[in-house]
Amino acid sequence: MEGQGTTRFQLIPSETYSENFKRMVVREFERGQLNKKSLGRKYGIQGHATILKWCRKYGKLYYAPESSIIGRPMKDPQKQRIKELEKELENERLKVIAFKKLIEIAEREDGISISKKDVARQLKILRKATREK
């Protein structure tokens, strides 16, 4: 009764690779010689995420966490850093705009002056006040 509805799966034992081998594969990937799929075929590496895990552990480039967008990192770390800093700068610009808007709304609703818009005028008032003392 071997052929009646029983399916057997052959389990392939997972291989363990040396650290030197993993580093070599990561170097090859980071040089852009082959993509992950091609490297997997070339060296018989099982699993679709194995090489990516090695890249995160041994790679010199930044590899985004699993939860973020998956893609190949930039080749030049300096360009990558510039891109990250530009993104941070844009975020800070948006924060400044938001804070200015909050101040504007607070000044309008409370009828008070929070920001010092006219420094020259305030200096005149300050000098006048110190002379009178």
- As a whole number, the mean pLDDT across the chain is 78
Query: Does 94 lie in the same domain as 81?
Result: yes
- Measured from the Cβ of residue 37, the count of other Cβ atoms closer than 10 Å reads 11
* 114 touches 103 (CB < 8 A): yes
Is 4 domain-assigned? no
At 12 the pLDDT is 54
- The residue segments making up the domain with residue 49 are 15-73
Q: Residue 85: count other Cβ atoms within 10 Å of its Cβ.
A: 10
Average pLDDT over residues 101-124: 75
Of 5 and 104, more confident: 104
CB atoms within 10 A of CB 59: 17
Decide which of 31, 52, 73 is a domain's last residue.
73
Is 56 a domain residue? yes
Cα–Cα distance, 1 to 109 (Å, whole number): 85
Ranges 13-17, 49-53, 71-75, 120-124, most confident? 49-53
Same domain? For 21 and 66 the reply is yes
How far is residue 125's CA from residue 101's CA, in Å, rounded to a whole number? Answer: 27
Q: How many CB atoms lie within 10 A of CB 107?
A: 14
Residue 69: the pLDDT is: 53
Residues 58 and 88 in one domain: no
